[in-house]
């Protein structure tokens, strides 16, 4: 997902600095993957939503994805800028949805508004999936299953059906593991200088 570029600073025709920026995409993928796995465990019924998940959502998923989006902007990668920037904002908005009602600053979302929120993210992710058709098979699977995840969770929110939410939890675990795998594969492939793990 990340594209490296080389920048050389020249003064009076003399090359002074060669800059090879790191690929920030693996950091964003791992942050998204680990956060999504932790959250999806709660949807799947392994434990209740708690401060552990909120801390991960804010500190790792949200903050890191926003930073990676800014780094990808500097690298000239429009797709990754949009993907990580938007998902970083998604994680923050998700945390805010949970925190505001606890602070009595806003009412908790009803089923219709929560479903609309999730469905809208699903529509956006579907659009991003179309862009992945020019990237790689790994990202095609990631964004197609992420689209499915948003729609399943949206349906669960709309119907209040706990079984649908549990299914969404397991879909989320798969998507999180895939994002984590893609991030680690990019790092390992770069370190070893060849395609050790398929992406």
Domain ranges in the chain are: 25-192
Instruction: Give CATH for domain 25-192.
Output: 1.25.40
Residues 6+ positions from 78 with CB-CB distance below 8 Å: none
At 21, the pLDDT band (50, 70, 90 cuts) reads confident
Q: Is 70 exceeded by the pLDDT of residue 7?
A: no
pLDDT cut 70: percent of the chain above it: 90
- Contact present, 24 and 167 (Cβ < 8 Å): no
Q: Give me 66's structure tokens.
A: 């926003």
Answer whether residue 44 shows pLDDT above 50: yes
- Cβ atoms of 168 and 153 within 8 Å: the answer is yes
Arithmetic mean of pLDDT over the chain = 92
* pLDDT tops 80 at residue 50: yes
Contacts of 48 (CB under 8 A, 6+ apart): 42
φ, ψ (nearest 5 deg) of residue 145: -75, -30
The model scores a pTM over 0.85: yes
- pLDDT band, very low/low/confident/very high, at 18 (cuts 50, 70, 90): low
Residue-wise pLDDT for 130-156, tens only, equals 999 999 999 999 999 999 999 999 999
CB 141 within 8 A of CB 178: yes
């Amino acid at each position: 997902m990340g594209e490296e570029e080389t920048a050389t600073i020249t003064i009076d025709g003399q090359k002074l600095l060669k800059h090879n920026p790191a690929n920030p995409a693996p950091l964003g993928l791992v942050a998204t993957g680990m956060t999504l796995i932790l959250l999806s465990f709660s949807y799947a019924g392994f434990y209740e939503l708690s401060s552990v998940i909120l801390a991960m959502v804010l500190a790792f998923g949200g903050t890191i994805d926003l930073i990676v989006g800014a780094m990808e902007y500097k690298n000239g990668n429009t797709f990754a800028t949009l993907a990580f920037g938007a998902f970083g904002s998604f994680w923050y908005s998700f945390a805010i949805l949970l925190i505001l009602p606890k602070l009595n600053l806003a009412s908790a979302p009803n089923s219709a508004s929560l479903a609309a929120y999730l469905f809208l993210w699903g529509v956006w992710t579907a659009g991003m999936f179309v862009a992945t058709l020019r990237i790689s098979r790994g990202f095609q699977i990631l964004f197609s299953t992420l689209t499915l995840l948003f729609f399943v969770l949206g349906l669960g929110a709309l119907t209040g059906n706990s079984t649908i939410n549990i299914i969404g939890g397991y879909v989320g675990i798969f998507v999180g593991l895939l994002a984590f795998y893609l991030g680690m594969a990019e790092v390992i492939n770069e370190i070893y200088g060849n395609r050790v793990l398929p992406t």
